[in-house]
Amino acid sequence: MSPKQLGIDSWPQNVAARLLDLSVDLSCVIGFDGHFREAAGDWEGLLGWTPTEMLSLSLTDLMYDADAVATFADLESIRAGSAAVRFQNRVRAKDGTLRWLLWTVTAIPVEQAYRAVACDVTPGHDAEALVLESERRYQDLIESAHDIVQSILPDGHFQFVNRAWHELLGYTTEELPGLTLFDIVDKVDHDHCTLLIGQLMSGMSFDSVEVTFVAKDGHTFPVEGNATGRFREGEYVATHTFFRDVSDRKQAQALTAAYQHQLEDEVAERSNINVRCGVSIDSLEGTDRLEGVLIRGGEGSGAAGSGAPELLPASALFVFIGASPRTDWLPPQVLRDSRGFILTGPALGDQHHQTADGDRDPFLYETSAAGVFAVGDVRAGSLKRVASAVGEGSVAVQFVHQVLRS
């Protein structure tokens, strides 16, 4: 409802003044020359200026320089007595801090003055600034991620992609508007993706999705990741996906399978090798030296196959461990390579740790989580030998002491 509809112009002056005194907002009369003539409300509580000091100030004295042009343009637009204008600007408190005010101003030409009511909206601006800063940090994180991040609209076009997406797929920012999801997904996965999007639209989400991407130059590479649907007021508006190129891991798995198949073939050709699958070692037997291994379980007939223990004569036992890192339980802050081994020291590249003494490079054997070290089989690039692990551990202890001293 406008002031004219309320009939404010016809209110007696003492009534209007009384209402302004009771208002929780700030009110004032400012001459066309910019100086304050009257000031009502808790200006001192908000800005620190006493009522007497307020009358010695001009609007220019209070106003933040960057907002001056827009503010005076708004005031000039109503100087002839047109409808009230509303605007926001920053004003400077007595202690130098800034506050955001929402003004409602009308001009009274016969008085050569503006009558205004102002409301402190600083908390809302501060909250908005925090949200914007949080969004900026999230955007920076997404942009710097090595994973492929994309947001896909219901029609299949891309709403957002990050830098890794452009680098791995080879498309430019200018080409993005003309592309859809099915331009970057291998044809063999089209039906799978269509079904997946339908399930996402129904509210489902997926933590493990595997598809094959097709780059601009035609080469393909496998990716895996997660996919979730984004909804606004119950309506599906986009699909968000995070994918990682797993080409290296797939190649390693294929190579491992080939080696295993080759080993199985060679073992099958040797009569002096007996393969027992699915057995566990109960105990080692012997006095001064190893004489036997007690096993249980396994495939086939015989004592071990029936679940009863079986003693195998043996003079030596080789234990092979460390080929699988088993690091799935670690948080994502601890970076690993494509096979799951933990990256440490120089393998972390340009990453720095922030400490009370400033930024520093990770110590040798220190992970991407500051103060957390990894040695032995679980560390990427280690020799996977007991003696090597012992040596790495002794070196890491020295760096642990340095961390504790910092």
Whether residue 12 sits in one domain with residue 118: yes
Query: How many structural domains compose the chain?
Result: 4
Radius of gyration of the chain (CA): 36
> How many angstroms separate the CA atoms of 363 and 153, rounded?
44
Residue 329 counted as domain residue: no
Three-class SS of residue 157?
strand
Residue 205 counted as domain residue: yes
Q: For the domain that residue 72 is a member of, what is the CATH number?
A: 3.30.450.20
CA distances 43 to 239, 262, 352, Å, are 50, 86, 48
* pLDDT at residue number 304: 45
Residue 198 counted as domain residue: yes
Residue 107 counted as domain residue: yes
Residue 269 counted as domain residue: no
Query: Are 338 and 255 within 8 A, CB to CB?
Result: no
Q: Where do the H-state alpha helices sit in 202-299?
A: 247-269
- pLDDT of residue 77 exceeding 80: yes
Q: What beta strand segments (E) does 167-263 contain?
A: 206-214, 220-232, 235-245
Which residue's entry shows tokens 């409802």? Answer: 1
* Sheet of strand 310-313, all strands in order from the earlier edge strand to the far edge: 279-286, 290-297, 310-313
Beta-carbon count within 10 A of 54 CB: 20
Whether residue 301 sits in one domain with residue 230: no
Which residue's entry shows tokens 């949080």? Answer: 134
Whether residue 108 sits in one domain with residue 23: yes
Residue 268 counted as domain residue: no
**Which residues constitute the domain of residue 365?**
345-405
Which residue's entry shows tokens 């202690």? Answer: 95
Whether residue 154 sits in one domain with residue 120: no
* pLDDT at residue number 289: 93
**pLDDT tens digits, one per residue of 146-201:** 889 899 999 999 998 988 899 999 999 999 999 999 999 999 999 999 999 999 99
Higher pLDDT, 286 or 10: 286
Higher pLDDT, 305 or 354: 354
**pLDDT tens digits, one per residue of 310-331:** 999 999 998 877 678 889 899 9
Whether residue 229 sits in one domain with residue 159: yes
Whether residue 236 sits in one domain with residue 175: yes
Task: Of 34, 32, 56, give the one whose Cα is nearest residue 43.
Answer: 56
Which residue's entry shows tokens 């997406």? Answer: 165
Whether residue 360 sits in one domain with residue 313: no
Whether residue 94 sits in one domain with residue 8: yes
DSSP 166: H
Whether residue 285 sits in one domain with residue 195: no
Whether residue 47 sits in one domain with residue 90: yes
Residue 131 counted as domain residue: no
